[in-house]
Amino acid sequence: MEGILIAVLILMMAGALYALEAKDLLSAVVSYGIVGFGLVICFLLLQAPDLAIVQIIIETISLIIMIAVILNSTREEIASRQRSFVVAAISLIFALFFLYIFNQATGALSRFGEHTMRMASAYVQGAAAKTGSANLVTGIVFDFRGYDTLGEATILFTAVMGVLTVLRLRGRKAAGKKEGAE
């Protein structure tokens, strides 16, 4: 299972790199989709079907939105003035440094697949009796940590209000002060 996971991760990385380097924005967005759908497979492998369902739909919708935005504007990537090998070298060195530190820091923690629960053990043991929900994730999302979910729904609400704010027709009233206010 771990082997498949690693293969999917490498595919996602390739997709991510292509998405960032592509010359055409539309193909960039499509290969960004590879990352998202690769994530869906990872979630399925990690026994998280709830996440896979949400991720696959959210990914589809955000791809549609991104493509709509690009069709509304331009699909041309801007010409980069020069290929900077210095930037690539610095990024690579930083990445290696970060991974080294990460490895050092987390070396003593539990290995992959050997996670021990503390807070969550109470959820797993007899959670159904506490919340009445057969799906433990739903039980946590809406009952134990329902307060988080209120925040989450509020974030979506905030973003919608923000999108409506940013995309409204005119910011300032067209009264006499308009010229000076800018």
Partner 1 sequence: MIVYLLCMLLFLIGLYGVLVKRNLIKIIIGLAIMEYSLNLFLALIGYVRGGTVPILSQDLKTSVFVDPLPQALVLTAIVIGLATTALLLAVAIRIYKKYHTFDIREIKRLKG
Partner 2 sequence: MKGITVIVRKVSQLLAGVVFLYGIYIIVHGHLTPGGGFAGGAVISGAFVLVILSFGSEIQKLNKSETRSSLLESTGILLFLLIAAAGFFLGSAFFFNFLPKGTVGKLLSAGFIPLFNIAVGIEVAAGLLTIFLALLIYKDEEDR
Partner 3 sequence: MDYRLPLFVIIPLGAAFLIPLLAKLFKRAGEWMAVLSLLALSGLAVYFVFLEKGARVYEVGGWRPLDGIPIGIYMVLDGLSIYLLLVINLIGFLSAFYSLSYMKKFTAESLYYTLFMLMIAGMNGLVLSGDIFNLFVFMEIAAIASYALVAFGIEKEELEASFKYQVLGGISSLLILLAIGLLYWQSGTLNLADLADVLRTNSNPVFSLFIQTLLIAGFGLKTAMFPFHAWLPDAHSSAPSPISSMLSGVLIKAIGAYVLMRLFFNIFALSYDIALVLAIIGTLSMVIGVLLAVGQWDFKRLLAYHSISQMGYVVVGVAMGMMILARNGDLQVASLAIAGGLFHLMNHAVFKSLLFLNAGAVEYAVGTRNMKDMGGLADKMPVTAATSLSASMAISGIPPFNGFFSKLIIIIAAVQAGYYVLAFLAVFTSIITLASFLKMQRFTFYNKIKSSWNGTTEVREAPFSMLFSMVVLAVLCLALSLLAIPSVRDAVLTPAVNALLQAGGYGTVILGK
Per CB under 8 A, residues contacting partner 3 are: 101-102, 104-106, 108-110, 115-120, 122-123, 143-148, 150-152, 154-155, 157-159, 161-162, 164-166, 168-173, 175, 177, 179-182
C-alpha distance from residue 53 to each of 40, 47, 56, 60, 88 (Å): 8, 12, 5, 11, 36
Q: Which residue in 2, 82, 170, 182 binds partner 1 (CB under 8 A)? A: 2
Q: Which residue in 61, 99, 101, 117 binds partner 2 (CB under 8 A)? A: 61
Instruction: Report the DSSP beta bridge partners of residue 24.
Output: 76
In terms of Cβ atoms closer than 10 Å to its own Cβ (0-12, 13-18, 19+), residue 135 is: middle
Q: Angle of helix 25-45 relative to helix 49-72, nearest 10 degrees?
A: 180
User: Considering beta carbons, is residue 132 or 180 the nearer one to partner 1?
Assistant: 132
Residue 33 tokens read as 């989709």
Q: Is residue 172 part of the contact set for partner 1 (CB under 8 A)?
A: no
CA distance 40 to 43: 5
Enumerate binding residues for partner 2 (CB under 8 A). 49-50, 52-54, 57-58, 60-61, 64-65, 68-69, 71-72, 128-129, 131-135, 137-139, 141-143, 146-147, 149-150, 153-154, 156-157, 159-161, 163-164, 167, 169-170
